[in-house]
Amino acid sequence: VTPGEPLVRWDWIASHLDEFAFRLGEHVELTVIAVGVGFVIAFALSLLILRVPRTEGPITGIAGTLYTIPSLALFALLIPYTGLTIVTAEIGLVSYTLLILIRNIVRGIRGVPAEVREAAVGMGYAPREVLLRIELPLAMAVIIAGVRLATITTIGLVTVTALIGQGGFGFLILIGIQRFFTTELIAGAVLSVTLAVVADALLVLLQRRLTPWARGA
Amino acid sequence: MTLLGDVARWLADPAHYQGTDAVQTRILEHVAVSGLAVLVGVLVALPVGLYLGHTGRLGFVAVNVANVGRALPSLAAIALAIPIAGTLLGVQNGLGFWPTFFALVPLALPPILTNAYVAVRAVDGDVVEAARGMGLGEAGVLRAIELPLGLPLILAGIRTAAVNVVATATLGALVAFGGLGRYIVDGLALQEYDRLFAGALLVALLAIAVEVAFGTLERAVVSPGIRVRSGAL
């Protein structure tokens, strides 16, 4: 911190709005790909767990170990293989979403009352229809709670990918640290937290839209 | 795999166990800053969480503080701690140990507080009532009933905090702290992939060791009578 320099230089902020917009796009892209791909993988694994319960231990064990490994370490372990690329960033980011998403998808679908499922089968629903029209809608609140957690966590982790040449707002933080320029690092940090809060609010709105019957609760 | 050979050779090289950049020094630095941050986190968040849980006050705040902690990116926490440490402790302490420590404590607080609160709230009301009927006071209920019954959840919160803190301490290397992150950051800068990979491996193992250690601790201190139920968490 240079003496005499104010903590935040507003003129610098005003003259870098274009860069903020560019970093926002990068940050959103990294997050959406990670949560999207993570959801597809987690959904498939969750269906496997629900159909073959003895796979639950190994799958959550592996996802849990991945979740435990520090993000920077996981990225570093991948660099010799996939380099300083978006692929390295996404493999790491996707890995961190799996445990949260699998846990909530499985818990959500298991939480559907057995008598509801039975009623659906009795009315002639095929297994596929039971899943799509009964179990998924009823599990939606718990599943979206998982997506919210995964999204917030991913938005925070994206900043770490600045170290491997990606980063979104994390890039501003990293450059700010390297140049001892507090304006830039505070801007990066505040924008990243703001993005997490906005994304969370949007997902709450999405949940209300998808589960209109739960609005009173 | 030539890379893994290089990494094994790097780890076996006696030169990497001498001087200020020695592996054991880096591990010690990493454990020291993490341990201190978790300790402060426990000392601050545990009493608050237990108190709020016992009285049932401020439940909304206690539960949501964990989500706020999650939204704060670790890199941002480290970055914001630089001006804070510099302002509080003078410019000469604006880098290294202190900003890392200042960044880690706020990451340790939320899971400990939220879990302590939830742990106490989740204790069966009938049991608490029975204890009061037997003449236990407020402090007695907390100490003899709520604390031991809530212990699995409380420990789970401390474990989450510890694993997060060990992970984030890696980023301390960006603000001139030592620790195992040093190898990763330097390995990246120098494009020395053996150093990078060895550092990453050590950090990963340390995080997993913390996780395992807490599992062992939980088995040792949690009453056998509630162990079965705690397995589901």
Helix B147-169 to helix A71-82 angle (10° resolution) is 40
Instruction: State how far residue A12 is from chain B, nearest Cα, in angstroms.
Output: 18
| Residues near B189 by beta carbon (within 8 Å), at least 6 away in sequence | none
User: pLDDT band at residue A143, thresholds of 50, 70 and 90?
Assistant: very high
Q: What is the pLDDT of residue A169?
A: 92
Contact B71 A196 (CB under 8 A): yes
Burial class (CB in 10 A: 0-12, 13-18, 19+), B35: middle
CA B159 to CA B157: how far, in whole Å?
5
CA B86 to CA B98: how far, in whole Å?
9
Task: Please report, for residues A101, A193, B24, B32, the alpha-carbon distance to residue B209 in angstroms, rounded to integers and kept in the order given.
Answer: 24, 30, 16, 15
Task: Please report, for residues B10, B119, B127, B140, the alpha-carbon distance to residue B132 in angstroms, rounded to integers and kept in the order given.
Answer: 62, 19, 9, 9
State the number of CA atoms in the 13 A half-sphere of A34 facing the CB: 33
Task: Provide mean pLDDT across the span B153-163.
Answer: 89
Q: Are B190 and A51 in contact (CB under 8 A)?
A: no
Q: One-letter amino acid identity for B29?
A: E
Q: What is the pLDDT of residue B233?
A: 37
DSSP string, B55-106: HTTTHHHHHHHHHHHHHS-HHHHHHHHHHHHHHHH-GGGSSSHHHHHHHHHH
Residue B98 predicted with pLDDT over 60: yes
Mean pLDDT score of chain B, rounded to an integer? Answer: 82
Share above pLDDT 90 across residues of chain A, in percent, rounded to a whole number: 44
B212: chain A residues, CB-CB within 8 Å? none
By Cβ distance, the residue of B70, B87, B184 closest to A72 is B184
Residue B85 predicted with pLDDT over 90: no
Task: Please report, for residues B30, B51, B128, B153, B157, the alpha-carbon distance to residue B125 in angstroms, rounded to integers and kept in the order given.
Answer: 42, 16, 5, 17, 22
Q: What is the pLDDT of residue A211?
A: 82
Instruction: State how far residue A183 is from chain B, nearest Cα, in angstroms.
Output: 10
Residue B109 predicted with pLDDT over 60: yes
Find, in chain B, the residue whose alpha carbon is nearest to that of A192. Answer: B73
Residue B52 predicted with pLDDT over 90: no
Q: What is the DSSP letter of B128?
A: H
Q: What is the pLDDT of residue A5?
A: 66
CA A143 to CA A139: how far, in whole Å?
6
Q: What is the pLDDT of residue B230?
A: 42
Residue B93 predicted with pLDDT over 70: no
CA B52 to CA B195: how far, in whole Å?
46
CA B50 to CA A81: how far, in whole Å?
47
User: pLDDT band at residue B178, thresholds of 50, 70 and 90?
Assistant: confident
Q: What is the pLDDT of residue B227?
A: 60
Find, in chain B, the residue whose alpha carbon is nearest to that of A191. Answer: B76
Q: Write down the pTM of the prediction.
A: 0.81
| Residues near B4 by beta carbon (within 8 Å), at least 6 away in sequence | none
As given in the structure block, the two tokens for residue A10 are 């507003």
| Residues near A139 by beta carbon (within 8 Å), at least 6 away in sequence | A105, A108, A109, A111, A112
CA A77 to CA A63: how far, in whole Å?
17
Contact B204 A69 (CB under 8 A): yes
By Cβ distance, the residue of B175, B193, B211 closest to A80 is B193
Q: What is the DSSP letter of B180?
A: T
pLDDT (tens digit per residue) in A12-53: 888 888 889 899 999 999 999 999 999 999 999 999 999 999
